[in-house]
A and B are shown apart, each in its own frame.
Chain A
Amino acid sequence: MKSVQWIFVPILVVASSLTLLYPNFAERELELAVRKEFKQLPEETRKELLSSFAERWKADYNPKSDWQIEPDPSIFPEQDYYLVKGRFITSAKINQLSQENQELILEPKNKLRPTWVEEYIFGGRPLAIRLGLDLQGGMRVVLKGDFDDYTSKLKDSYTKEIEELTRKKDDHSLSEKERKEAQDKLKEIESYFELTPGRKLAELEKAKLIIDNRLTNQNLTEPQVRIQKDQDSIEVSLPGVSNSSQILDIIRNTETVEYRLREPSDSNGNSRGTYHDAIELEEMKLMNQGKREETEIVKFQNIVKQKLGKDEQDRFLAAMEKKYNIPEKYKLYVKWSRANNPKASLLPREFVVLERAISLDGKDMRNARESYDQNRLSYYVSFSLTSQGAEKFFDITSKNVGRQLAIVWGDKVISDPVIRSPIAGGNAQIDGEFGQKEATDLANVISEGALPIPLNVLEMRFIGPTLGIESIEVGLKAVLLGFALVIVFMLIIYRLSGLVADIALLVNVIVLMALLSLMGFTLTLPGFAGIILTVGMAVDANVIIYERIKEELAAGKHVSAAVAQGFENAFWTIMDSNVTTLISGILMIKLGNGPIKGFAITLCWGIVTSLFTSLFLSRMIMDLLVNKFGVRKLRIGFKKLESKNV
């Protein structure tokens, strides 16, 4: 092995690993956002809140005074945030700060500023290793299944069928048998709308599984999803989330995708529908009087911008439906768009009136994929339909040529193209003005199946680590101590070669951590167990090699020959044992979930790094020692074994 030329490889690997790990131990800056409304509170209250914040800052949040905060916590900041500087600002800490000072801190706007590594090399992508629920806690959201909404949606999807059957049931031109059949079918459909506790639980179970898979696949984390039977709700805990808008993304992901027809244009075909026109007329009036702020759409936008929540939006729309006398047959929606500017944010821009009956829903779609459209410079989502769906789609598009078919994602209308001709063949696409993330989200919702029930947020709070703070502190010390002892043990048993093994071991752990950092992996106790096993196997690899070298030396070989032969003999042993473990690891990643997956990911990457360090790095250092620095007496173990033919 011509080691000298190759020495730059491990140096490069270690250097880049340390760069990747930098954000984990660098000084970070956190923008702790404050509420603007705080200034409107009575002075008494403000003083009280600020002084309690300042007090807790000294006692609880920053007991060692190793973080700085600008301005002082007893003063309300002029710019919109407190700037906190310090090392090891964990998301758990950020959550705790926000949670305990809700009137002062605007939690969704908190921001951990990226370090230079994240900024310049990764375009702002966060790199720090996140710790799991067991090691640092996270956010817990309790989502209540909205079964009323579920039933009403279910009713919507059967509207046409019920109309048809009711007509048949009372149609005396049909035979007795046919009428009886229609009646039975009606009864059966009505039974779908009755929710027994057992059925509710089944729907919750389905939802639990979908959320679990989605979270596990999207961010390599180990969420905890439990069902709370008594409250018809699902409890989702997610580690490493530093603000709640991230966890709310899951809920946004719980939405459905469905097609609904717009209200028909009037008989001349030159308007966009009676109710739509009525709303439009009022809005124009206000605009012409210069009262833009009073238009319904601006009011609605404000509800969205202030993040007042879906309930508030629904209330607003229900009030409007009343005001404009929109009949039961229709439902008021809002179309969201970017107003012809791809950089603008997605906002509600126009009210649309759609039929209550669902023309096609997510159950009929599958295999969604997002693709980039070169001409429109935006993403679109294409999907195929089930055979039943294709039939429905053809039926609707052929009966309603010239009308608009709106695509509703959750509660947003994202596009409403005009049906130009009947669409057959079971493939379709949705063009919204999507960015990549939105298109991916939409495709996910279609492919993975939307959640069976709509979910509302019941409560959201920060939770501490499930293993207990004390245990983690003690455990961390124990692991570090254990690691140090292993290093000492290797030194005692193998002397100089032990030092080589220790260097390899340290590099191994550094590179592995850097890889996990790069993947955005969330480390939990099972993941940690994977690292323990990796360290064990890495030590083992070195032990095997040295024992082999010892044998060669005992047989009277020259040092450099013994080293070369020792590595040669150990090579396949190490390969075989590692490959076998790798096989099981890969299977666990592919098929396992949650803890099994977390364990397997660290194990597999650990095997890759320990193969590199034991077969490549250790060998190079040993070669250098023996061939460059002329180490003639290789002390491996207690007996001084020297080559006898020097």
Chain B
Amino acid sequence: MFDFIKYKYISITFSTILIVIGFGVTFGKYGGFATSLDFDGGLRAVVEFPENVERKTLEEYFSSKNLEAVLVLMDKDKNDYQIDIGLGSVDQIKQLYVERKGKDSIEAKQASAIDALIGLLQEDFKLEKKKILSANQVGSVVGAELTSTGISLLSLTLFFIMLYLSFRFQFKFALGAILALIHDLVITIAFIGFFQIKPSVPIIAALLTLLGYSINDTIVVFDRIRENAGNLRDAFSQIINISINQTLSRTFNTSVATLISVVAIIIGGAVELYDFAYVLTFGIILGTFSSVFIAAPLVDIYDGLSKRWKRS
């Protein structure tokens, strides 16, 4: 039998270090999260490229110019690509265009970012005007309102989950579950920042999925603890250990089954879904880890503290 409780401080410290590193790198190295069209708005152009231009060519082109672009293949036969460039690169594009046209070019100085982008693409890929199918400066789809509704929604959801768990279990379990959920959310956001994954609608979906998965996982372990606490006469920390060990094969099998379907997306090579799949894969592993190494030990810690308060 593996003694999970013995390592509780190590696992909590490990998590804390991950969070600190994640956010440290996010803000220290990158100065924040990646920008994306869905959240911040930016430039979007749909362009028909000549046949010899592949995704790789385009990716290299943009990274050599130091531009953050997201490419989406819209039409395989015509080789149409949609190019999304976040607001962060707008100044850079204008700068490039002015350099290209010469410092004294009035035309270049007055060009909007979208004109500059089209100008550069037309020149570098020798495109006719009609190959630029559309080009717009677009606003965000989700943005400020999502963040504000998201936070109030999350607080409310956590509150109701807490209520239900306090009613079905005990307050200490509710607290452990909620803290583990917040822990999962924070670490995943740190992960998104660390790898500069562009926030987008699919990423939100992945976040929601991992929260659902994590709470499900946690409750299964807690349920076993509750059951054993009714039957066994051991110390509470011992009961937690027994319960985690009893549910271990179930925890493992479920994680593997769920991971299979997510990893399939990565192996399958759906390029535009990679971020979504990465966050989900990370989330499932994390959700499993947190229900065993974070949620249950937190309940134990709270249990110990509350006994001490009672004595004093």
Contact = CB atoms under 8 A, between A and B. Distances in A.
9 contacts: A235-B138, A469-B73, A474-B270, A479-B261, A526-B201, A530-B208, A533-B212, A540-B258, A587-B156
- For B149, B157, B270, the residue with the greatest tally of chain A CB atoms inside 10 Å of its CB is B270
A493 B149 CA distance: 43
A471 interface: yes
Contact of B213 (A227, A235, A469, A533): A533
Given A469-B74, A536-B257, A588-B153, A576 B168 contact: yes
A489 B141 contact: no
A572 B206 CA distance: 27
Interface of chain A, main secondary structure: helix
Contacts of B270: 470-472, 474-475, 478
B311 interface: no
A214 to B, nearest CB: 15
Q: Chain B interface residue count: which class? A: 35 or more
B76 A533 contact: no
- Chain A to chain B: the 3 pairs with minimum beta-carbon distance, closest first: A478-B268, A482-B264, A482-B261
A486 B157 contact: no
A588 B152 CA distance: 11
Contacts of A530: 205, 208-209
B205 A225 contact: no
Interface in A290-321: none
Contacts of A551: 246
Contacts of A468: 72-74, 82, 271-272
Given A470-B76, A479-B264, A577-B220, A595 B201 contact: yes
A573 B212 contact: no
B260 A584 contact: no
Contact of B138 (A226, A475, A524, A572): A226
Contact of B157 (A533, A540, A573, A588): A588
Nearest to A481: B264
B213 A471 contact: no
Interface string B261-284: 111110111111100100010001
Contact of A529 (B141, B209, B264): B209
A245 interface: no
A231 B2 CA distance: 65
Contacts of B75: 464, 469
B272 A583 contact: no
A482 to B, nearest CB: 3
A539 B260 CA distance: 12
Interface residues of A, number: 73
Contacts of A532: 209, 258, 261-262, 280
Interface of chain B, main secondary structure: helix
Nearest to A59: B77
A579 interface: yes
B259 to A, nearest CB: 9
B256 interface: yes
Interface stretch (B17-25, B158-166, B298-306): B158-166
B208 A529 contact: yes
B152 to A, nearest CB: 7
Interface string A56-74: 0000100000000000000
A226 B141 contact: yes
Interface in A213-230: 224-230
Given A587-B160, A591-B149, A593-B149, 9 more contacts: A227-B139, A229-B137, A229-B139, A464-B74, A471-B270, A529-B205, A532-B258, A539-B257, A584-B215
Nearest to B266: A478
A490 to B, nearest CB: 7
A547 interface: yes
A483 interface: yes
A547 B224 CA distance: 12
Given A474-B269, A581-B215, A596-B204, A230 B112 contact: yes
A526 B141 CA distance: 15
A226 B140 contact: yes
Given A477-B268, A489-B256, A596-B208, A573 B139 contact: no
A536 B208 contact: no
